[in-house]
Amino acid sequence: MNSLLRNSRTLAALTPSRHAFTSTSTAFFCTSAAAPSLSGRQASAANKLVDLVDDVIKDVGESSMISEDDDGTLLKNLKRDTVIAPQQLSPQYLLTPYLPSPDFSLAHPLGPPVTAARTHDPFVRFDISPLDSPMNPWLRSQYCTSMGKIKSRGNTGLQRSSQRKMGKAVRRARSMGIVATFGVSVPSEK
């Protein structure tokens, strides 16, 4: 029995002399060969454990269980009171690419209001100025389109002052030759 115990029907299908609960790394077996070595208290405790597991399986229900073979992202399908297999917590299931930054142009085409910009503007949050790092092409490329145009305030989500300073910093970097005039040029990581 190398599969997880899924529902109470599987538990009922097991013979009374043999109950097996297996997970990926732990197993508890009470077989008929081992039964004579159990005392009366140990046997009743094992039966109570089996009844407890049966009650938990009935309470949880089949609808909230995720199968082991589900290739979908675990965090997208995870709901309250969901039973999962331990291997679904491995990095292969949990590693997903970072979410892209939100597109503010859909909600606020002319730029976010001051309160929203204050929370989303990294220059205000970390108290830094875009003009303080003129030699950083990675920072400049985040605020330029693929054709080299400076993104609007609606797309960047910056405050008015930060947007002005970022535009000034991009123009300075272009004039110094750090950032390409047309297109985005980010140095390779070699």
What residue segments make up the domains of the chain, in order of their start? Answer: 1-62, 63-96, 104-176
**Residue that is written with structure tokens 């920072």 in the block:** 139
Q: What integer best gives the mean pLDDT of the chain?
A: 69
Distance of CA 117 to the CA centre of its chain: 25
pTM across the whole model = 0.44
Amino acid at 176: M
Q: How far apart are CA 137 and CA 155, in angstroms?
A: 19
Most confident of 44-58, 132-146, 176-190: 132-146
Q: Outline where DSSP puts E strands in 6-91.
A: 19-22, 27-30
Q: Find the Cα–Cα–Cα–Cα dihedral 5, 8, 13, 17, rounded to 10°.
A: 80
* pLDDT at 15 exceeding the cut of 50: no
Q: Does residue 155 carry a pLDDT above 70? A: yes
Distance separating alpha carbons of residues 141 and 139, to the nearest angstrom: 6
